[in-house]
Structure 1
């Protein structure tokens, strides 16, 4: 899945787990533990140019995506990690982290399959949402000049 923001390509590669009536967060996905938001092989995001994600600089490149879900109202930790290979259960470790963000999860309509999407795209920025079940994790991506 790709989106262009001010001429910069942002690409997310991931597999989509399905809820299938299961309780997701706090049960299938444990609070307070590192989780791979996807299925099977590691989910990745790549940026064609340097970007600012929720106010924090991130160099152009490709990163694996990880998260630490928390019980509301505590914010989640979203992790952009330089380690790209491997299966979704093998977190490469903090030494490979390029960026850790504190993100407040929101509530939205039920999404049966885990999905990343861009509901808002402006001239130089876009909002990326990770959504599964009724949990929505938004991140603003701004392209630097």
Structure 2
């Protein structure tokens, strides 16, 4: 009879351990359909880091359907995309102080609005324009090749959002 009493707590402990492993595996962001990704680089002496979740096209129509024109988009999936810079920079000729921002866009067929929001760590759909630090307008352009997954690049001229057959360049320069 004593063996049965000892076995019950041990069994309970093992079940809890296995359940916690399962819960941890479900929280692994790399297993999401839109896994986390990042782009880092330097523009002059300024270090830039963009953290985002990278959705795939999966045969869908992206621009104007999955991502509607004229509406705020989190510029990725899941949590809001973040843009971090360690020095003051000029974005499309306008000052953006050093810091970490959430990065949103308002896509349009001919022009996009790029938004840097002061609330960096938030779920992507929690956008509030009262916290915008900067808004600028840019022109999208078609790419030569298909890009299945959303990605960002940091270049000598700024940053570029690339997805499907579209790229959106944003000029970033070091403040002089």
Name the TM-score, length of structure 1 as normaliser: 0.90
Partners of 1:113 and 1:18 in 2: CA distance: 4
Report the CA distance between 1:39 and its aligned residue. Answer: 1.2
Give the match for residue 44 of structure 1.
Answer: 82
Cα RMSD for the two superposed structures? 1.1
Give the match for residue 149 of structure 2.
Answer: 113
Give the match for residue 70 of structure 1.
Answer: 108
Give the match for residue 133 of structure 1.
Answer: 164
8 A Cα contact 2:74 2:103, kept in partner:
yes
Give the match for residue 116 of structure 2.
Answer: 80
In structure 2, runs of 5+ residues without a counterpart are: 1-38
| CA deviations over 1:49-70 (Å, ceiling 9, x no partner) | 0000111110000000001111
Report the CA distance between 1:135 and its aligned residue. Answer: 1.2
Partners of 2:46 and 2:122 in 1: CA distance: 27
The structure, 1 or 2, with the larger RCO (C-alpha pairs under 8 Å, 6+ apart) is 1
Partners of 2:43 and 2:120 in 1: CA distance: 23
Partners of 2:97 and 2:158 in 1: CA distance: 18
In structure 1, runs of 5+ residues without a counterpart are: none
Partners of 2:165 and 2:158 in 1: CA distance: 18
Partners of 1:86 and 1:63 in 2: CA distance: 10
- Flag the structure with higher strand content: 1
Which 4+ stretches in 1 moved above 6 angstroms? Answer: none
Report the CA distance between 1:41 and its aligned residue. Answer: 1.1
Partners of 2:95 and 2:146 in 1: CA distance: 32
Q: SS in structure 1 opposite 2:53?
A: coil
* Among 76, 95, 99, the residue aligned to 1:57: 95
Corresponding pairs, count: 137
Structure with max Cα Rg = 2
